[in-house]
Chains A and B, each alone.
Chain A
Amino acid sequence: MAIELKMPALSPTMEQGTLAKWLKAEGDRIEPGDIIAEIETDKATMEFEAIDEGVLSKILIAAGTEDVAVGAVIALIEGEGEEAATPAPAAAEAPASAPAPAPKAEKPAPAPTAKDPAIPAGTSLTSTTVREALRDAMAEEMRADPRVFVMGEEVAEYQGAYKVTQGLLAEFGPKRVIDTPITEYGFAGIGTGAAMGGLRPIVEFMTFNFAMQAIDHIINSAAKTNYMSGGQMRCPIVFRGPNGAATRVGAQHSQNYGPWYASVPGLIVIAPYDAADAKGLLKAAIRCDDPVVFLENELVYGRNFDVPDMDDYVLPIGKARIMREGSDVTIVSYSIGVGMALDAAATLADEGIDAEVIDLRTLRPLDTQAILTSLAKTNRLIIAEEGWPTCSIASEVIAVCMEQGFDHLDAPVLRVCNEDVPLPYAANLEKLALIDPARIAAAARKVCYK
């Protein structure tokens, strides 16, 4: 069989080139490594080297021919003892038949969403701070799974910069509760590598502002390995810590990274509001085989909420929660915004507007069904987000409503977000910059045309 020599590509983007010159003639003996021809594009010239041995039996493309397609057969080599033969026309004219159309990629339908676990009748509730609920979630998972450990700045001896890891060092010891130097990029990478190596790290960022030092590992290392390895290499890690504005800590320490991480395929992004969700979702995050960015909020850490006294309270990831049922307008929110949305709903109720409040809880994957179902019921929707408006979760929810809920809309969807400025330090300016219940209520009235 003759060996076909094909037009090579000089770069990943090259589609065609010029066959500038033949350095061998028909009938010449070819050894591997011989330069047979010169190929040119507008960017470069390359020598075409033989890797086979034999006799150059036929030149199919003449020197000087332009626009030769990459992959086109340009010459034939006969191995030792073979008869020179004219190539079959089909081969010479390849590709003769039009390539089969690429099969269209179908996005798999989302799995039927799981429901929150039923809380058995008679289960007692304990008023718990979000801070304690998070700690309890970590402690329970650490008791259950020896692969789980916590690392971060001041998480051990100091008991956590915001006291979320309080008591963990005493119970689990320094092997599993590890103080790191201030080296976010380094320890995020070490955590990610440990997850690849089979451990289940919980990496605490003192605040997510400092995770910007580490965002390369979160996105390039953690989020993409499963995909790039064709599903071989898992990265079950939780990156957690406070996110969003605190109080008067200025522009570099006050930002909501929800939209940043939620835009990255390969990540799970969770941003709970109350203590029960914080606990149930953090436990789910730690068990999850995917990398999870778990966004907490410093201003909510100290708030008390009822948490069911159950041995193993785990919530489904990717499922929103109706915090308050209503029929006139839907207020979608997450994290600290949920509390403000509930306050706004209470104000609106006094005015005769019945608002439904939805806590997204997970920002990626987004529970679009919950949003659309509520929209179909109320026909009006706003989003309250403690974060910048541009390219936000709010923008995403609006897109979902436009694409999939248009027929249900009786008013444009509005977003209530922070002002589009870096957060100022001055007390009065900070107040002006951040969302509050009054602004949420005003937007709700507006979409109700009241």
Chain B
Amino acid sequence: MAKQPAKPSVAKKTSVPTGDHPDFTLHSLQDAFEANKRYAADDAEMMEFYRQMLLIRRFEEKAGQLYGLGLIGGFCHLYIGQEAVAIGLQSALDNDRDSVITGYRDHGHMLAYGIDPKVIMAELTGREAGISKGKGGSMHMFSTEHKFYGGHGIVGAQVALGGGLALAHQYNNDGGICLAYFGDGAANQGQVYETFNMAALWKLPIVFVVEDNQYAMGTATKRSSAETAFYRRGTAFRIPGMEVNGMDVLEVRAAAEIAFAHVRAGHGPVLMECNTYRYRGHSMSDPAKYRTREEVQEQRDHHDPIEGLKKTLIEAGKTEDELKAIDKGIRADVAQAADFAETSPEPGAGELYTDVLVGEY
């Protein structure tokens, strides 16, 4: 049956089957999560989530514009609609220790670190000041300073690489965990399951996050996946699954707390499915014939993560004006980033030959 994403009904699905063995606790994390689904953020935290999600939204809207103007080339995948996932999860990380890896839809995950939008936008326009010196582009951004390991163009590759980052955490005994994001489409790659097995076998400190935005390019999950409840897909490896409404930043954050604690305590990996939705096309060239306008509108009108949090903030006593002021500030920052990205110079021709190898031979 086709899954209805990101609707309250989603979370009511039965939890992960437990199997026969009494200590087989695949359902325990979901049970803990169901008991208390929304993170009790204080006002300041909530305002910060709001600001961060809005920054991603406005940044991506601007990137879409710059692409239209020919200032950004190649593939450019926007994160609009999915903001709550990156913010809910990454706000719960310990950035001194933990690492993150994702695919090509990576602008939002970078912004979640508070990395200067200027250097991200300048990478999109292929300028020297970009975070990869203009040599990576939209799909290939990295910040080792923040332990953000990219930015990968091959669907599914980041899952195995994330397993390796987790192995390094375990090996170095540094207390860190790895957060590895991948899409519903990527979830069908074989290396994902090879990684699940090793991660569970070796109790690697990793949280696998399926950002289920319902589509892989033009393919709806039900057309590509025999099991569309992705959180169940770790069951065969005894990896506990969690199913989360990825359109609610407070739910994502609550789930993150539970999953991270489990992994950090040395119990091995967790598989979290965040149900979300991308409003824009897969990349900038997308015929958009595989779904209806109404479907997209329904998500925007009733499940938007930013509007949702705004409602909570107003209920908590914030005023429209306060929130507008935040938006105004963000728009100014994004405009500045765009100016910077347009006007800063292209890389010097000599950069063509740098960074191929580290050593000289």
A residues near B (Cβ < 8 Å) are: 153-154, 157-158, 161, 179-186, 209-210, 212-213, 246-253, 419-422, 424-429, 432-433
Contact = CB atoms under 8 A, between A and B. Distances in A.
Contacts of B34: none
B135 interface: yes
Given A154-B218, A182-B155, A251-B140, A425 B126 contact: yes
A427 B346 contact: yes
A251 B347 CA distance: 16
A157 B290 contact: yes
A427 B70 CA distance: 11
Given A154-B217, A426-B133, 17 more contacts: A157-B218, A157-B223, A158-B219, A180-B224, A182-B155, A183-B189, A186-B190, A209-B153, A213-B189, A248-B126, A249-B137, A251-B136, A252-B152, A252-B154, A419-B352, A424-B352, A426-B127
Contact of A182 (B123, B132, B216, B352): B216
Q: Which of B127, B134, B137, B216 has the most CB of A within 10 A?
A: B137
A252 B154 CA distance: 7
Q: Which of A153, A185, A426 has the most CB of B within 10 A?
A: A426
Nearest to A429: B352
Contacts of B224: 179-182
A342 B154 CA distance: 34
User: Closest 6 interchain pairs by CB?
Assistant: A425-B137, A248-B73, A426-B126, A248-B74, A426-B134, A181-B188
Contacts of A432: 349, 352
Interface of B: 73-75, 123, 126-128, 130, 132-137, 139-140, 152-156, 185-186, 188-191, 216-219, 223-225, 287, 289-290, 346-347, 349, 351-353, 356
B352 A158 contact: no
B136 to A, nearest CB: 6
A175 B347 CA distance: 50
A284 to B, nearest CB: 31
A158 to B, nearest CB: 4
29 contacts: A157-B218, A157-B219, A158-B219, A158-B290, A161-B217, A181-B188, A181-B224, A182-B156, A183-B188, A183-B190, A185-B189, A185-B190, A213-B156, A246-B74, A247-B73, A247-B74, A249-B139, A251-B136, A251-B140, A252-B139, A252-B152, A252-B153, A253-B139, A419-B353, A424-B134, A425-B132, A426-B128, A429-B347, A429-B351
Q: Which of A181, A247, A432 has the most CB of B within 10 A?
A: A181
Interface of chain B, helix or strand or loop or mixed?
A: loop
A158 B288 CA distance: 9
B219 A425 contact: no
Contact of B75 (A179, A182, A253, A421): A253
Nearest to A251: B140
B353 A181 contact: no
A425 B346 contact: no
B227 to A, nearest CB: 12
A153 to B, nearest CB: 8
B75 A249 contact: yes
Contacts of A154: 217-219
B73 to A, nearest CB: 3
A153 B185 CA distance: 11
Contacts of A184: 189
A426 to B, nearest CB: 4
Contacts of A246: 74
B223 A428 contact: no
A181 B136 CA distance: 27
Contact of A252 (B126, B140, B346, B347): B140
B288 to A, nearest CB: 11
A250 B353 contact: no
Nearest to B192: A183
A420 B224 CA distance: 38
A426 B135 contact: yes
A158 B126 contact: no
Contacts of A179: 219, 223-224
A421 B132 CA distance: 15
A250 B347 contact: no
Contact of B189 (A157, A182, A253, A419): A182
Q: Which of B135, B153, B216, B347 has the most CB of A within 10 A?
A: B135
Contacts of B352: 419, 421, 424, 429, 432-433
Contacts of B130: 426
Nearest to B185: A182
Contacts of A249: 74-75, 137, 139
Contacts of A250: 74-75, 136-137, 139-140, 153
A422 B352 CA distance: 9
B346 to A, nearest CB: 4
Contacts of A182: 155-156, 185-186, 188-189, 216, 224
Given A248-B74, A252-B139, A253-B153, A429 B349 contact: yes
Contacts of B186: 182
Contacts of B123: 425
Contacts of B135: 251, 424-426, 429
A125 B231 CA distance: 56
A113 B130 CA distance: 53
B164 to A, nearest CB: 17
A220 to B, nearest CB: 15
Contacts of A426: 126-128, 130, 133-135, 346-347, 351
Contacts of A210: 154-155
A407 to B, nearest CB: 37
A179 B351 CA distance: 41
Contacts of B190: 183, 185-186
B228 to A, nearest CB: 12
A158 B346 contact: no
Nearest to A210: B154
Contacts of A161: 217
B130 to A, nearest CB: 8
A157 B222 CA distance: 14
B137 A158 contact: no
A246 B346 CA distance: 20
Contacts of A251: 135-136, 140
